[in-house]
Structure 1
Amino acid sequence: MTMVTESMHIEPLEDLPIGLRAGSPLLRPIEVIAATLLTIIIGLLLMGVTSRYVFSFPVVWVDEAASMCFLWLAMLGAVIAIDRNEHLRLTLFLQMMPERIRGFFGALGPLLVAVFLIGMLWPAIEYAMEESYITSAALNIPMTWRASALPAGIGLMVILALRDAIRSASLTEIAAATGVVAFALAVLWLVSSSLPALGHLNILIFLVGFVTFFLVIGVPIAFCFGLGALAFMTFTSSLPTIVLIGRMDEGMSSLILLSVPIFVLLGCILDATGMGKAIVEFLASMLGHVKAGMSYVLLGSLFLVSGISGSKVSDMATVAPALFPEMKRRGHKPKEMIALLATGAAMADTVPPSIVLIVLGSVAGVSIAGLFTSGFVIAMVLLAVLAILARWKARGEVMDGIRRAPMRAVGKALVIAAPALLLPFLIRSAVGGGLATATEVSTIAVLYAMIIGMVLYGGIRPGKIYDMLVETAALSGAILIILGTASAMAWTLTQTGFAFRMAALVTDLPGGWVTYMMVTIAVFMVLGCVLEGLPALVLMAPIMFPIAKNLGIHDIHYSMVVVTAMNVGLMAPPIGIGFYIACKIGNVSPDEAMGAIWPYIGALFIGLLVIALIPALSTAYL
């Protein structure tokens, strides 16, 4: 995990080490409940896996119980994330503003969050009441028990958003921000009768203009989408806002997404036990003596560690501290190391168990087993182009005094790293081979990592385990609320007929599927840079994937292009969040590293073009 300072341009989801982040004392009961819910979910999933694969007697109510706990975990996690200021938001432009108006926007942002939440509170209550008429199939209890998580979480977030507004600015600034919000709402209400006549122009006004403005002033991305969708539906249509609550519920509580908090927890265990460090040390003993060897070790470590944690931030935070001192000694410039770290993490994002692939499979209806199988191959293509560039860059590397590690030392490092090395291959083979679902494998992986960590890697103290559970809840809540509001906005966009118009426009472009691939690359590079990966996928996948299918593009091939393009944008300065996270981990100024990263971005882009133009790379092993 990484520590964020005021010099950062982006506030990421994962910005402080586990155990250093602390919420308000009043939120302690919520944290305890969230940690308990996560423990219950893991227990339920383990029960389901054991009953199905060991005793061949599936427990039919496990999925229902886990789903109910999952929605509560997502909403309470989002509450904790607001309390800890862990929701993803763009602060680049906010920091460029004069000091005298920054306080005003500091108050305006939380107020806008509160406006969205207040607007959704009564629809959430109605939704929970409507769910009382539906009884769960296995547990035979009203679904209100599950749906009540929405109004409960929204209500708590309203209180915290108003608290943040009061804390972040003076009374004068708060009054000014309140006046602006009230004035804007009044104007929109007065002109609402004429807005439907504008047709698709409303998309530019609300779903592009409003959302962009909210992003620029530092409103968390999840609530930017929610505000845009709510304003669009309220002032340009007669649809009830309860529909948005239903879309949010569907977008953030799919059973496939149950693996997200489990893999987040797995990344925490990786950090806490030192399993990732063992992998790094083994690769260093194998390759450290060759020219560009430490660069190969860095890339290989990111490749393998990603197969355990599923998190780019966890990958970089595990690998960089172990390798950077030796790389500096060999003459590597810090800015070059940062460039390789950032693009290496982007390369590794298709290595199972990638949370991005799991979310993409959920929102686009693509086989996660197929994504895991193909993602492993695609990552190797990107690994190859980065390794070639790294070798060329290391032509002047100082190798004086570097000797091959004795085979005894290599063997010892292998013995220590073997249990950790085994885990990514178990995950990939189990899901890719169809032996178990991603959710089941993630649960088994957590149990395996906990046991191996205790037996071979020193274990984890109980207090640390609790911190990891709470941190996992907060990170998962921040991710899932983005998926929920992005799903609501994507649904709103599709209801306008925009998707059909876009499909007709793209279908008529010369060049067929190749042209569409180039359009896809451009779109997702830009969205990956501005929005980060998950919201970009949830927002655009329902629109872009059907068009690709109509053009005859295999969904797995298209998925690999989308994810890779998104990651290239994610690491591209001056906005890409991944670039700034890498700079902070390596303690290098973004201004210094910015010039060095472009050759590596270029190498990734060449790899992306190869992947896009050769479908067999993605589909040959399915």
Structure 2
Amino acid sequence: MIWAIALTIVLLVALGAPIFVALLAGAAVGLSMFNGPPLIALQQTIFGGLDAYALLAVPFFVFAGELMAASGIANRLIALVQALFGRVPGSLGIAALGGSTLIGTICGSSAAAVAAVGKNMYPRLLDAQYGQRRASGIITSSGAIDIVIPPSIAMILYGAAAEQSIPKLFIAGIVPGLFVALLMGIYISASARFSGLPTEGRFDPRSTIIAFQKAIGALFMPVFILTGIYAGAFSPTEAGGFACAYAIILGLVFYRSLTLSDILAAAARAAMITAQIMVVVAAASVISWLLTVKGVPQALIAGIIDAGLSPLMFLLAVNVFLLATGCFLDPTSAILVLAPLLVPIAIALGIDPIHFGVIMTVNLAIGMFTPPFGLNIFVAQSVLGVSAADIYRGVLPFVAVQTIALAVITLLPVLSLWLVRAMS
């Protein structure tokens, strides 16, 4: 039965079917071969999979991200990063990286960051002699950090699928996300120096203060969210509602760059994105339920324990598997299908599920810009007007850099857990 489900899903995805259709078809095939629950269980499980309080945070954070994007804050954040790193070699590339990372602390959407930063920075990078490949590679890969940095929609979905604390996952993603950004920044600066690219601008305290004042409203949003969650003022779901209200007030009153029509348009886009996420959640919940009823997780745990696989060997195998999976599946689908299978094994081997959640998220973040089917590649191709071949060549160095970061994060759980333990 398991092979029939997997073959059905892989075949339909290869033929270009939407992922939720492939998952539902696989579930239907599995149910038809399984002498147990009737096919009516399919629709019951679809709706039951959406009955999770944690999932209510998703539409709020998606809407907040759309509101902040409509407010035009990307330019403010990029200007702040460039003011801070004005004399550093590769400062313009670092500005694109830093702007994308800061946008991630607001909306948690990788594709949105690629689109926002790409429109703003790509022409400037070309003017600074970065070239199509390097410029598109920086923009495409930088957006992947946004699903690791909180508030992360991928972390919310992992928390719901693996029944783990979303606040702890948010906190656990801060240091690894910044670590990935740090390694990328070092590479961008070193390669710019090696290539002899001109330094853009200079560090000016007055300009930096002005840039900070213009961006301070957006910078405080993640601070309020995380502080409120850990102070017990509100849950992650309520924090998402607060983020929406904050974004509206910021755009309407302080920045005055948001109109009522912009809010309605942002709501329509958020509704569409939320529907796309939730239909995958519903379809994946059927696969997870079916595999659980069939006892697949328990069989995998027993097999791995009998094989004497160490925690480190298991994590290395998971990294290889998820890096390959991320090339073909988006993080939402991969997390919802694989977390219920892999997390029980990790726990049985003594691996902290919060640390495992960070590992899983970083893996799938790399997959978002890994050829041939990384989502960010298609977004960048559309926004930048660059051929897929040039983007492929441009992102390869950053695949290597982020894979090195992944190895360090995997081997050093303290990067993910020390802040969680310090705040517990």
Using the size of structure 2 for normalisation, the TM-score is: 0.94
| Counterpart Cα distance in 2 of 1:607 and 1:403 | 29
Q: Would you say the 8 A contact 2:71–2:255 is kept in 1?
A: yes
Q: CA RMSD in A?
A: 1.7
State the match for 1:242 in structure 2.
40
CA 1:456–1:255 in structure 2 vs 1: closer, same or farther (change >3 Å)? same
CA 1:386–1:412 in structure 2 vs 1: closer, same or farther (change >3 Å)? same
Q: Would you say the 8 A contact 1:275–1:453 is kept in 2?
A: no
Which residue identity is paired with 2:62?
Answer: V
- Deviations, residues 349-390 of structure 1 (Å, cap 9, x unaligned): 211111000111111011111111110111011112211211
Q: Would you say the 8 A contact 1:568–1:601 is kept in 2?
A: yes
Unpaired runs of 5+ residues, structure 2, are none
Which residue identity is paired with 1:239?
Answer: P
The answer as to 2:315 corresponding to 1:497 is no
| Counterpart Cα distance in 2 of 1:411 and 1:618 | 32
The answer as to 2:18 corresponding to 1:220 is yes
| Counterpart Cα distance in 2 of 1:510 and 1:397 | 51
The answer as to 2:129 corresponding to 1:331 is yes
> Is the radius of gyration larger for structure 1 or structure 2?
1
Using the TM superposition, give the Cα deviation of residue 405 of structure 1 relative to its aligned residue in structure 2, in angstroms: 5.3
Q: Would you say the 8 A contact 1:525–1:570 is kept in 2?
A: no
Which residue identity is paired with 1:399?
Answer: P
State the match for 2:30 in structure 1.
232
Q: 1:532 aligns with which of 313, 330, 349?
A: 330
Q: 1:602 aligns with which of 392, 400, 403?
A: 400
- Deviations, residues 54-108 of structure 1 (Å, cap 9, x unaligned): xxxxxxxxxxxxxxxxxxxxxxxxxxxxxxxxxxxxxxxxxxxxxxxxxxxxxxx
The answer as to 2:219 corresponding to 1:421 is yes
**Higher RCO, 1 vs 2 (CA within 8 Å, ≥6 residues apart):** 2
Q: Would you say the 8 A contact 1:366–1:555 is kept in 2?
A: yes
Q: Would you say the 8 A contact 1:368–1:438 is kept in 2?
A: yes
The answer as to 2:369 corresponding to 1:571 is yes
Using the TM superposition, give the Cα deviation of residue 511 of structure 1 relative to its aligned residue in structure 2, in angstroms: 5.0
Q: 1:488 aligns with which of 286, 289, 295?
A: 286
Q: Would you say the 8 A contact 2:109–2:146 is kept in 1?
A: no
State the match for 1:373 in structure 2.
171
| Counterpart Cα distance in 2 of 1:508 and 1:578 | 40
The answer as to 2:59 corresponding to 1:261 is yes
1:546-557 alignment, distance < 5 Å:
546-557=344-355
State the match for 2:3 in structure 1.
204
The answer as to 2:262 corresponding to 1:467 is no
| Counterpart Cα distance in 2 of 1:575 and 1:389 | 24
| Counterpart Cα distance in 1 of 2:190 and 2:204 | 27
Any idea what SS the aligned residue of 2:49 has?
helix
- Deviations, residues 435-489 of structure 1 (Å, cap 9, x unaligned): 4211111111111110110122224333332222222112111110100110101
| Counterpart Cα distance in 2 of 1:505 and 1:581 | 40
Which residue identity is paired with 1:410?
Answer: T
State the match for 1:436 in structure 2.
234
| Counterpart Cα distance in 1 of 2:92 and 2:196 | 10
1:369-408 alignment, distance < 5 Å:
369-395=167-193, 396-399=195-198, 402-404=200-202, 406-408=204-206
1:157-176 alignment, distance < 5 Å:
none
Which residue identity is paired with 1:218?
Answer: G
| Counterpart Cα distance in 2 of 1:405 and 1:548 | 47
State the match for 1:520 in structure 2.
318
Using the TM superposition, give the Cα deviation of residue 434 of structure 1 relative to its aligned residue in structure 2, in angstroms: 4.1
State the match for 1:33 in structure 2.
none
Using the TM superposition, give the Cα deviation of residue 300 of structure 1 relative to its aligned residue in structure 2, in angstroms: 1.4
Which residue identity is paired with 2:15?
Answer: I
Using the TM superposition, give the Cα deviation of residue 393 of structure 1 relative to its aligned residue in structure 2, in angstroms: 1.4
State the match for 2:339 in structure 1.
541
Q: Would you say the 8 A contact 2:136–2:391 is kept in 1?
A: yes
- Deviations, residues 472-522 of structure 1 (Å, cap 9, x unaligned): 112111110100110101111222222222212222345510011012112
Using the TM superposition, give the Cα deviation of residue 345 of structure 1 relative to its aligned residue in structure 2, in angstroms: 1.5
State the match for 1:620 in structure 2.
418
Using the TM superposition, give the Cα deviation of residue 399 of structure 1 relative to its aligned residue in structure 2, in angstroms: 2.2
Using the size of structure 1 for normalisation, the TM-score is: 0.65
Q: Would you say the 8 A contact 1:571–1:577 is kept in 2?
A: yes
CA 1:289–1:586 in structure 2 vs 1: closer, same or farther (change >3 Å)? farther
- Deviations, residues 524-553 of structure 1 (Å, cap 9, x unaligned): 222222121111111111111111111111
- Deviations, residues 17-56 of structure 1 (Å, cap 9, x unaligned): xxxxxxxxxxxxxxxxxxxxxxxxxxxxxxxxxxxxxxxx
| Counterpart Cα distance in 2 of 1:441 and 1:397 | 45
Q: 1:591 aligns with which of 389, 393, 418?
A: 389
Percent identical among aligned pairs is 25
| Counterpart Cα distance in 1 of 2:314 and 2:395 | 27
Q: Would you say the 8 A contact 1:381–1:607 is kept in 2?
A: yes
Which residue identity is paired with 2:3?
Answer: L
Any idea what SS the aligned residue of 1:531 has?
coil
Number of residue pairs matched? 419
State the match for 2:246 in structure 1.
448
Using the TM superposition, give the Cα deviation of residue 602 of structure 1 relative to its aligned residue in structure 2, in angstroms: 0.7
Using the TM superposition, give the Cα deviation of residue 433 of structure 1 relative to its aligned residue in structure 2, in angstroms: 4.5
| Counterpart Cα distance in 1 of 2:324 and 2:220 | 36
| Counterpart Cα distance in 2 of 1:226 and 1:586 | 34
- Deviations, residues 574-617 of structure 1 (Å, cap 9, x unaligned): 12222222232222111112123211101111110100011111
The answer as to 2:92 corresponding to 1:294 is yes
| Counterpart Cα distance in 2 of 1:528 and 1:473 | 25
Unpaired runs of 5+ residues, structure 1, are 1-201
